[in-house]
């Protein structure tokens, strides 16, 4: 029985992906900053572990406790909306610590065991904003674009050891906490000069048709394909809007 370790399972894409792998009979290690036992169905194939991907000690504990991992899904991350001019560099570093360096650190921690077994899959969740530039998302987009470049090079490094690396690119989802989390960090990050632009951006998001967004099961299915289909492309869009951008 194979094991998948998924980061950021307290909500959204991570939670839906954990449910899907459980339904498929896999052993699931679902990680969260603050573990909760009531989010996923009770199962002897499920373990919920604490994990902060920005903390080296937390990563070591999690990987040791998880044991052999066949598939790593780097999903944990945070959002940020704002004009670059109004975002403190401390906040920029916070985004990169979670979205970019956290992904790298988790991958680095799991790779030795995969290399020794000469098998494994690393799946990094990025974003479709890397496919089409949008205002007020420069920092967030940069953190996710860096993950794509990282994964492309990593895939070449790992190929001789029978390990695959790929990315899943979700579109905009009304069912995740991205907007909620991003807006909570937006305080003061949109100077008055950018207020009109911000109003237009939020209005456009509100008008996006319901059929042109990404749902949790879209991402779960894309991750499942990446984990189980060696012939799948390295970049997998997830959700109607992301698929349309790729097309």
Q: What is the CATH number of the domain that holds 212?
A: 3.40.50.720
Residues 231 and 122: their CA atoms lie apart, in Å, by: 15
Residues 233 and 58: their CA atoms lie apart, in Å, by: 32
What is the model's pLDDT at position 59?
A: 98
Residue 234 φ/ψ, nearest 5 degrees: -70, -30
Read off the pLDDT band of 37 (50, 70, 90): confident
What is the model's pLDDT at position 184?
A: 55
Residue in 13, 20, 8 with CA at minimum distance from that of residue 227: 20
What is the model's pLDDT at position 203?
A: 79
Residues 164 and 12: their CA atoms lie apart, in Å, by: 25
Read off the pLDDT band of 178 (50, 70, 90): low
Mean pLDDT of 168-192: 67
Question: What is the span of the domain harbouring residue 85?
Answer: 3-246
What mean pLDDT, rounded, does the chain reach? 91
Residues 51 and 30: their CA atoms lie apart, in Å, by: 9
N-terminal to C-terminal alpha carbon distance within the chain: 36
Mean pLDDT of 100-129: 97
Read off the pLDDT band of 175 (50, 70, 90): low
Mean pLDDT of 126-131: 93
pLDDT beyond 70 at 117: yes
Residue in 135, 43, 49, 126 with CA at minimum distance from that of residue 86: 135
Strands, sheet with 235-238, edge to edge from the N-terminal-most edge strand: 46-50, 27-32, 3-6, 71-74, 120-125, 163-170, 235-238
pLDDT beyond 90 at 233: yes
What is the model's pLDDT at position 133?
A: 84
Mean pLDDT of 168-183: 67
What is the model's pLDDT at position 239?
A: 77
Q: What is the DSSP string of 152-175?
A: HHHHHHHGGGTEEEEEEEE---TT
What is the model's pLDDT at position 185?
A: 53
Q: Which residue has the tokens 């997998």?
A: 236
What percent of the chain has pLDDT above 70? 91
At 48, is the secondary structure helix, strand, or coil? strand
Residue in 218, 178, 210, 174 with CA at minimum distance from that of residue 17: 218
Residues 183 and 186: their CA atoms lie apart, in Å, by: 5
pLDDT beyond 70 at 183: no
Q: What is the per-residue pLDDT across 184-211, written as a single tens digit (0 to 9) for each?
A: 555 556 888 988 888 888 777 766 666 6
Instruction: Mark whether 140 is an active-site residue.
Output: yes
pLDDT beyond 80 at 27: yes
pLDDT beyond 90 at 165: yes
pLDDT beyond 70 at 80: yes
What is the model's pLDDT at position 14?
A: 97
Residues 78 and 185: their CA atoms lie apart, in Å, by: 10
And the tokens for 14?
């991570």
Q: How many domains does the chain have?
A: 1
Given the residues 140, 178, 194, 224, the one annotated as active site:
140
Residue in 48, 55, 9 with CA at minimum distance from that of residue 29: 48
β-sheet bridge partners, residue 4: 28, 71
Mean pLDDT of 130-144: 93
* Cα Dmax for the chain: 56
What is the model's pLDDT at position 208?
A: 66
């Amino acid at each position: 029985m194979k094991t998948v370790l998924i980061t950021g399972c307290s909500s959204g894409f991570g939670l839906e992906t954990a449910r899907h792998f459980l339904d498929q009979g896999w052993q699931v290690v679902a990680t969260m900053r603050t573990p909760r036992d009531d989010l996923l169905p009770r199962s002897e194939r499920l373990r919920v572990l604490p994990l902060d991907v920005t903390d080296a000690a937390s990563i070591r504990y999690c990987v040791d406790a998880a044991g052999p991992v066949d598939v790593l899904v780097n999903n944990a991350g945070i959002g940020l909306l704002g004009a670059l001019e109004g975002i403190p560099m401390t906040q920029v570093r916070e985004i990169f610590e979670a979205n970019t360096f956290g992904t790298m650190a988790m991958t680095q921690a799991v790779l030795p065991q995969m290399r020794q077994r000469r098998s494994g899959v690393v799946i990094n969740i990025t974003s479709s904003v890397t496919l089409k530039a949008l205002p007020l998302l420069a920092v967030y987009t940069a953190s996710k674009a860096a993950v794509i470049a990282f994964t492309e090079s990593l895939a070449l490094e790992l190929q001789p050891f029978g390990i695959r690396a790929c990315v899943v690119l979700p579109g905009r989802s009304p069912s995740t906490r991205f907007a909620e989390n991003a807006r909570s960090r937006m305080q003061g990050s949109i100077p008055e000069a950018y207020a009109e632009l911000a109003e237009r951006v939020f209005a456009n998001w509100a008008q996006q048709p319901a059929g042109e967004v990404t749902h949790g099961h879209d991402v779960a299915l894309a991750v499942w394909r990446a984990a189980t289909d060696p012939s799948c492309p390295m970049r997998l869009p997830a959700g109607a809007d992301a698929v349309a951008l790729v097309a």
